Structure 1
Amino acid sequence: MDLYGIVEEISFISDKEKTMIFIRLFGSPSITRDGTPLTFPFKKVEALAYLLTSPGRHDRRRLAHLLWPDKDEERSLKNLRNALYRLRVTLPKNAVLSKEGRVFLSPDGVKTELEFMENLSSLPERDLRRMGQPFLDGFSLDDGEEFNRWTQERRDTLRKRYLDEVISEAQKAGEKGDDARATSLLQNALSAAPWDEEIARELMKSLKRKGNLPKVVATYTEFSKTLRDEMGLDPSPATVDLYRSIFRTMDVPSEETDERYHIELPRSDRDLLETLSVFGTATSLEDLEACSNQNGKNLEESALRLEEKGLISLSRSSKSALALRINSSQLERSLYESISPFKRALIHRKILKLKTPCSIWTFSPPEDCRNLIRHSDNGGSLEDRISTRIRYLRLLSIGLCQGYPPIADPILIKLEEDGVSHSDIDDLTISIRDLLGRLETGYGGDRIPQQRRMFTCLSGFHSVWKGLIDQGKAELELALEKSVEAEDHETASEALCGLCLMAIRLSDRRAIGDYSEMLLQKGKDNPLTRALCYRLQGENANGKDPQKAIDLTERAMAEIENLRASGFGYTAMEAMVWGGMSAMAMETGEFGESERCLRKGLSRLIGGGIRHGRWIFHSALAYIAWKKSDVKSMSDEAAKAKESVDEVIYGDLGILYNGIQALAAAAGGQSREEVNCHIGRARFSASWLNGENRTVQFLKEVEKKLKS
């Protein structure tokens, strides 16, 4: 029997006086009473019902905070009482129960889809696919940031649970030789996570075992299109290699043998295809005209003929503009390899000139940066190869090494999804040093002084983040000195940002004050720089002049708000300011206000899809929970911090993170060795600080607590 049949059967076997409430949570949510959809007087009443579907009994204050986070406790609890009254009126009698101040749904009168998560493998195909849809898909509150954050966290948890069980079942089916079952399960998993390359590869392997080569092609093509259209990315080399190997190892037709790719084409049509193959991505007609040998009208006519033959299709570029793309990756690769090296280099050169931003300080999505490097390697000068790599290095260094990078949200999300690491920065740095050495050998003199200064600055930035303080400081100060001499204010500002980051991590108040004042002078025309400086100066005033600290932080928030009102999203920077407000409240012992600010900043990051810096907020929330003697909440927040922590931590954040992890390890009954490991790391982080601060005091309290 399928899911719908089970629900109907539950309704029929209920007592005559009883009515059955069923809550659908996956996909578009709904609440039905004996199969009839219910309507609610206010959206927050319906939202309350969905909150109550979570396991356990729910604290009233927690529910009130999730639905009315901007209200004081008295007002939010009053609103909750009204909402509970309206929910009880809408649902059958005794569907919503309350005991000892906690609220929950009656297990007898209310059923939810969560019950079917316990045994997904028993569900038929249709219901299994639906259970893979997002939790509360499309349901949100316009003024409910905390509820929306809860929804996203719950959605992520349930999606992971779904994928883990479905993939596990697929592996079991594959081991038993049941490739049909394994394929069906993997198709459901890929529907739930259409960007997951590991699932896509497993599905392709399963289809290969079944001998369904056309479906392998369809799966790869659709997966590639999803990555390109939604994320502006191409499949990883591992996925491409697997796809190629499937056809190399089997004597069967593939896309490469499709007859339509071998028909004779007019010279103009082939020229368009060849130009598209060099671009290697969805490309607008304007860009094609600039880099091909055709004018606009002839180009349009060629595009129409090729579309009719099914060789190209209309897509969207990384900037969401309408663009053309070759339908087959095999055809694209074959065309690229067939072009003469001279023509290929000419097209690469044209594309490089067309696509290269005016300034090396422009942030571009990672895929665009890599494409620029590819074009420079195939048709650019040595200077082009250096400049394109420095641009990518800047994106990686600032994106990975700064907890709150001043990068616009869409680009930052692309970077996070890209899976790059600090080792990628190391590899890129080595490559640039090699090219700079060749430039000196070939030309002599300093042909790209600005790029050299930026490279020195970024190298220092990365050294600081890795904990090589002396080396990083020397590189940053050298970049600053050279930039000031050359009146290169942009690079000087960049170097000062790195020095400020170093001063923050070391809690060096004097350095924070000096560097932020210099930075404000150099970058006063940049609202992001102003916001950062006000935030730094506010932190510096915290504990000495509380009112000044608040005023400066509010000025920082005003700059961020102006950017958002202008259509620019810098969620990470905004979260940083909320973190500053939390620190000020914590300094005066106002832990409730501090927690509110932390949750506000965290909800911004979660709502904006930004992962950078979440671990800092979770660690700080764990600290507050510890101060309140709430061990469970502390352990929960510590676990979340551990999931999203950056690769390298030192300084004050290293103390906070490792101190919290030590407490959580002790509370969870882990070994003394594990606890001591975190304490040792915290002490090592403390050795960098210039004097004591709140985190050092916290470490002393932790050690005292653990000894007792």
Structure 2
Amino acid sequence: MAIAVFRVMIVEDEQPILDLMKRLVEQHPLLELAGSFTSAAEALYAFEALKLDAAFLDIEMPRVGGIELAEKLRAVDDNLQIVFTTAYPEYAIEAFRVSAVDYLVKPVAADEIERVVARLAKNHSRRKERSTVQAEELFVRCMGTFETRGLDGSLIKWPTRKTEELFAYFLVYPNRLAGKWQLADLLWPDLEEERALHNVHNSVYRLKKALKEASIAIDLTHTNEGYYMRLTPGFSDLTSFRDFLRRTAIIDHRNAHEGETHFRMYQGPLFGGKDYVWSAGVTAELAGQYASLTRMLVSFHRRSGDDAAAKKTLCAYLTHVPLDAEMNGELLQLYLAHGEQDRFRHHYARYLEQLEQELGVGPAEEIKRLAEQIE
């Protein structure tokens, strides 16, 4: 198991104490000093670019004190772990008002840094566990299959196919109004309007009943215009996956574990390829998000010097999207860079065969050039 190394910054307005803190942090094998500042304004300006795990903040600073700075930093990154430094222990109670991990009394000693690092590691471990538990407790799986389980773990048996499809629509478009006439037209396009609308009402009733019998509490409200289903990100793999991609622009050591968890959630096309006419665009969008997550993870592994993990990620992706030219090219380049010629030849031959069988075409020129390097 990899040991977490925490990127930290120090904010301290007294230079001698700042120098001492820098030495203590730099000497600890589980701390990486990302930045040090003598004012809150400088620290706040640089904060987002530093990608921090924790911050050591002096409580007593002019203009903006450590507690106010902590509140501003936590407003940007709620996961940031805060450690205060102070010459006055009576500030400790106020410090914990902003959920500080710990506080250090000046002058700070090495054994106190050790205590703080232990707490940082414990909190980090708890967050990873919560992320894993959330993934395991999903009620609904939509990627590569479509199954809904009750609290007892048993599969829900839907009374009609249209009830299941209506639920699928709400899962794709949660937390927004679904117009009743829109649903009628989507699900029963061939029926007379009033009859189609009657079917919508009946299907909503059946949906609520099925979920209630499975002990799944859900907020599905009826308005004059239509229906509104409120869902949390953790309700399904789809909502969780989309939420993670919405708030993630880059994978780094802070969110890599969560990224890997969501990467593994993707097990194939939306709803297992069920032929819902209205879902084709969303299926393509989800596939694009999966490719984007793959790129971010591969980039993170390569920046970290872990090409083995990058190759593993690419191989997993290609089991779902075997003809992706970009990802095949990336994997072949890695095989070439590490002198794995047998693996290169085996993968290249299989890729050529799949291209011919599925599309009747050959590989892109850049991939041909890679192959020429080992022939």
TM-score by length of 1: 0.30
Could you tell me which amino acid in structure 2 is paired with residue 62 of structure 1?
Q
Could you tell me which amino acid in structure 2 is paired with residue 139 of structure 1?
K
**Structure 1 residue 7 displacement after superposition:** 4.7
2:228 matched to 1:104?
yes
Distance 1:205 1:108 in 2: 40
Distance 1:240 1:221 in 2: 11
| Cα distance change of structure 1 residues 108 and 192 upon mapping to structure 2, 3 Å threshold | closer
> Is the 2:220–2:229 contact (alpha carbons within 8 Å) kept by the matching residues of 1?
yes
| Cα distance change of structure 1 residues 103 and 45 upon mapping to structure 2, 3 Å threshold | same
Match of 1:137 among 272, 280, 297: 272
SS in 2 for 1:232: coil
**2:218 is matched with which residue?**
95
Q: Please say which of residues 81-90 and 216-225 is displaced more in the overlay.
A: 216-225
> Is the 2:297–2:313 contact (alpha carbons within 8 Å) kept by the matching residues of 1?
yes
Map Cα deviations across residues 45-98 of structure 1 (whole Å, 9 max, x no partner).
Answer: 011111101233222222222111112322211110010011111002752511
**Runs of at least 5 residues in structure 2 that lack an aligned partner in the other structure:** 1-128, 246-255
Match of 1:76 among 177, 192, 196: 196
Map Cα deviations across residues 216-244 of structure 1 (whole Å, 9 max, x no partner).
Answer: 22221221121112222222332222122
Could you tell me which amino acid in structure 2 is paired with residue 76 of structure 1?
A
Could you tell me which amino acid in structure 1 is paired with residue 315 of structure 2?
Q
> Is the 2:180–2:226 contact (alpha carbons within 8 Å) kept by the matching residues of 1?
yes
Could you tell me which amino acid in structure 1 is paired with residue 149 of structure 2?
T
> Is the 2:307–2:334 contact (alpha carbons within 8 Å) kept by the matching residues of 1?
yes
Map Cα deviations across residues 128-177 of structure 1 (whole Å, 9 max, x no partner).
Answer: 2450511112423xxxxxxx232211110000011012113212322332
| Cα distance change of structure 1 residues 108 and 234 upon mapping to structure 2, 3 Å threshold | closer
**2:298 is matched with which residue?**
170
> Is the 1:208–1:216 contact (alpha carbons within 8 Å) kept by the matching residues of 2?
yes
Distance 1:240 1:130 in 2: 33
| Cα distance change of structure 1 residues 160 and 89 upon mapping to structure 2, 3 Å threshold | same
| Cα distance change of structure 1 residues 117 and 150 upon mapping to structure 2, 3 Å threshold | same
TM-score by length of 2: 0.55
**1:227 is matched with which residue?**
355
Distance 2:322 2:130 in 1: 25
Could you tell me which amino acid in structure 2 is paired with residue 37 of structure 1?
L
Could you tell me which amino acid in structure 1 is paired with residue 211 of structure 2?
L
State the identity %.
25
Matching of residues 553-632 of structure 1 within 5 Å: none
Distance 2:155 2:131 in 1: 17
Match of 2:237 among 113, 128, 134: 113
2:336 matched to 1:208?
yes
**1:56 is matched with which residue?**
175
Map Cα deviations across residues 575-595 of structure 1 (whole Å, 9 max, x no partner).
Answer: xxxxxxxxxxxxxxxxxxxxx
**2:69 is matched with which residue?**
none
| Cα distance change of structure 1 residues 210 and 127 upon mapping to structure 2, 3 Å threshold | farther
Could you tell me which amino acid in structure 2 is paired with residue 36 of structure 1?
S
Distance 1:138 1:110 in 2: 22
Matching of residues 269-280 of structure 1 within 5 Å: none
SS in 1 for 2:171: coil
> Is the 2:269–2:283 contact (alpha carbons within 8 Å) kept by the matching residues of 1?
yes
| Cα distance change of structure 1 residues 36 and 204 upon mapping to structure 2, 3 Å threshold | same
**1:26 is matched with which residue?**
143
**Structure 1 residue 24 displacement after superposition:** 0.6
Map Cα deviations across residues 517-561 of structure 1 (whole Å, 9 max, x no partner).
Answer: xxxxxxxxxxxxxxxxxxxxxxxxxxxxxxxxxxxxxxxxxxxxx
| Cα distance change of structure 1 residues 216 and 2 upon mapping to structure 2, 3 Å threshold | farther
SS in 2 for 1:103: strand
**Structure 1 residue 105 displacement after superposition:** 3.0
Pick the structure with more strand per residue: 2
SS in 1 for 2:348: helix
SS in 1 for 2:148: strand
Rg larger for: 1
Distance 2:159 2:233 in 1: 21
**Structure 1 residue 178 displacement after superposition:** 2.1
> Is the 2:175–2:231 contact (alpha carbons within 8 Å) kept by the matching residues of 1?
no
| Cα distance change of structure 1 residues 112 and 64 upon mapping to structure 2, 3 Å threshold | same
Could you tell me which amino acid in structure 1 is paired with residue 358 of structure 2?
E
> Is the 2:259–2:293 contact (alpha carbons within 8 Å) kept by the matching residues of 1?
no
> Is the 1:22–1:31 contact (alpha carbons within 8 Å) kept by the matching residues of 2?
yes
2:160 matched to 1:45?
no
Asked which structure has the greater RCO (Cα within 8 Å, sep 6+), the reply is 2
Paired residues in the alignment total 229
Distance 1:119 1:205 in 2: 29
Distance 1:237 1:125 in 2: 32
> Is the 2:135–2:261 contact (alpha carbons within 8 Å) kept by the matching residues of 1?
no
Distance 1:126 1:169 in 2: 11
**Structure 1 residue 3 displacement after superposition:** 8.2
Distance 1:59 1:116 in 2: 25
Map Cα deviations across residues 317-370 of structure 1 (whole Å, 9 max, x no partner).
Answer: xxxxxxxxxxxxxxxxxxxxxxxxxxxxxxxxxxxxxxxxxxxxxxxxxxxxxx
2:185 matched to 1:65?
yes
Distance 2:337 2:229 in 1: 47
| Cα distance change of structure 1 residues 233 and 2 upon mapping to structure 2, 3 Å threshold | farther
Matching of residues 98-497 of structure 1 within 5 Å: 98-100=221-223, 101-107=225-231, 111-114=235-238, 115-119=240-244, 121-123=256-258, 128-140=263-275, 148-245=276-373, 247=374
Map Cα deviations across residues 284-317 of structure 1 (whole Å, 9 max, x no partner).
Answer: xxxxxxxxxxxxxxxxxxxxxxxxxxxxxxxxxx
> Is the 2:311–2:331 contact (alpha carbons within 8 Å) kept by the matching residues of 1?
yes
| Cα distance change of structure 1 residues 223 and 123 upon mapping to structure 2, 3 Å threshold | farther
Distance 2:228 2:292 in 1: 28
Distance 1:192 1:68 in 2: 32
> Is the 2:135–2:234 contact (alpha carbons within 8 Å) kept by the matching residues of 1?
no
Distance 1:207 1:138 in 2: 32
Distance 2:261 2:296 in 1: 19
**Structure 1 residue 184 displacement after superposition:** 2.1
SS in 2 for 1:105: strand
Distance 2:309 2:260 in 1: 10
| Cα distance change of structure 1 residues 126 and 210 upon mapping to structure 2, 3 Å threshold | farther
Matching of residues 594-673 of structure 1 within 5 Å: none
> Is the 2:179–2:226 contact (alpha carbons within 8 Å) kept by the matching residues of 1?
yes
| Cα distance change of structure 1 residues 125 and 225 upon mapping to structure 2, 3 Å threshold | farther
